[in-house]
Structure 1
Amino acid sequence: MGWTFKLHGGVAAGLGATLLLLATLTWLPGALPFTGARWLAAAIFVSLFLTFASALVRLIMRSADKHAIWMAFRCLPGKVQMALGALALWGVVLLVFSTATEGNLQSAEVRDGRYVAFDTTPHARDTVEISQSRYQDVLESDQRTMLAIPGVLFLGAAYAVLAAGELRRADGAVVPSGVT
């Protein structure tokens, strides 16, 4: 596997792990310092788009089926497989627990000195007033989701690019049938 595949996969896995760590930190008391930062969401989106799109292009260029991609991933060193698997499991568990505990409120904000959030309860969708502590809980839940979903997608990009690198290495090792 070429060094560009390793670098691309490492950056994607590192960004995914960082986002999952930040999402996990939202369960600690107090708010994270960048709760209202709009630039963070834009930076995550742009880097995720570039990383994920280029990983998919690399994988598509190999034109392999799902089984070949899985077998290429299985050819990676065991520590890499274990690290990506553990991070992906961490991300899925984080999303499941976040979804189970968040309730029906989202998009908390302050309007005219009052704390409000959008209630997504079926047949009662409306903006409702909430307490300050519930406001903080909804903010943390929104932030957890905003960090965990891109984190898992970054790990998917790492999987794709590392599997594509293994496929490329395997394709280069195949001797054409007419050569002795």
Structure 2
Amino acid sequence: MGWTFKLHGGVAAGLGAMLLLLATLTWLPGALPLTGVRWLAAAILVSLFLTFESALVRLILTGADKHAIWLAFRCLPGKVQMTLGALALWGVVLLVFSMATEGNLQSAEVRDGRYVAFDTTPHARGTVEISQSRYQDVLESDQRTVLAIPGVLFLGAAYAVLATGELRRADGAAPTSRMSSPL
């Protein structure tokens, strides 16, 4: 596997692990200092777009089917497989627990000194006033989702890039058949 595949996959896996760690930290008491940072979401979105799209382009250029990609991933070292699998499982569990405990409130904000959130309950959609503690809970839940989903997508990009690199390596190592000339 070429060094660009290793670097691309390592960066994607590292960013995914970092985002999942930050999403997990939202369950600790108190608010994360990143709650009011608006540029963080933009930075995550831009880096995710660049990393994920380039991984998809690399994957499409191989022309391999899903089964070949899975087999290529299975040829990676066991520690790499285990790490990516554990991180992906962590991300999925994090998202499932986050969505199960989230409730029906989203997009908490302060308007005119009051805490409000958008209620997504069927037949009762709209903005409702909430307490300050509930406001903090909704903020953390929103932040957890905003961090966990890109984290899982970064891990998907790492999977795609590392499997593609392994496919490229295997294609380069495959023996080529030479036609012998009759002379």
Relative to the length of structure 1, the TM-score reads 0.99
- For the residues of structure 1 that align with 2:156 and 2:122, how far apart are their CA atoms? 32
Q: 1:108-148 CA deviation, whole Å, 9 max, x = no partner? A: 00000000000000111000000000000000000000000
Q: Distance in 2 between matches of 1:38 and 1:160?
A: 29
Residue of structure 2 in register with 1:175 after alignment:
175
Alignment length (residue pairs): 180
Question: In the TM superposition, what are the counterparts of 1:11-26 in structure 2 within 5 Å?
Answer: 11-26=11-26
**Secondary structure class of the residue paired with 1:51:** helix
- How many angstroms apart in 1 are the aligned matches of 2:106 and 2:152? 21
Which residue in 2 is equivalent to 1:122?
122
Q: Corresponding residue for 2:44?
A: 44
Percent of pairs with identical residues: 89
Cα RMSD, aligned residues only: 0.9
For residue 136 of structure 2, give the secondary structure of its aligned residue in structure 1: helix
Rounded to whole Å, the distance in 1 between the matches of 2:58 and 2:94 is 29
Structure 2 alignment gaps of length 5 or more: none
Q: Deviations over 1:150-173 (max 9, x none)?
A: 000000000000000000000001
- Structure-2 separation of matches of 1:5 and 1:48: 16
Alignment of 1:22-171 (within 5 A): 22-171=22-171
**CA shift at 1:102, angstroms?**
0.6
Unaligned runs of 5+ in 1: none
Give the letter for the 2:135 counterpart: Y
SS of the residue corresponding to residue 35 of structure 1 reads coil
The structure-2 alpha-carbon separation of the partners of 1:8 and 1:100, relative to structure 1 and needing over 3 Å to count, comes to: same
Runs of 4+ in 1 over 6 A off after TM superposition: none
* Deviations, residues 61-117 of structure 1 (Å, cap 9, x unaligned): 110000000000000000000000000000000000000001000000000000000
- TM-score, scaled relative to structure 2: 0.97
Query: For residues 173 and 107 of structure 1, do their structure 2 counterparts lie closer, same or farther at Cα, with a shift above 3 Å needed?
Result: same
Query: Which protein shows a greater Rg?
Result: 2
In structure 2, relative to structure 1, the CA distance for the partners of 1:17 and 1:179 (3 Å cut) is farther
In 1: Cα distance, 2:167 partner to 2:79 partner: 19
Deviation of residue 179 (structure 1)? 6.2
Q: Which amino acid aligns with 2:34?
A: F
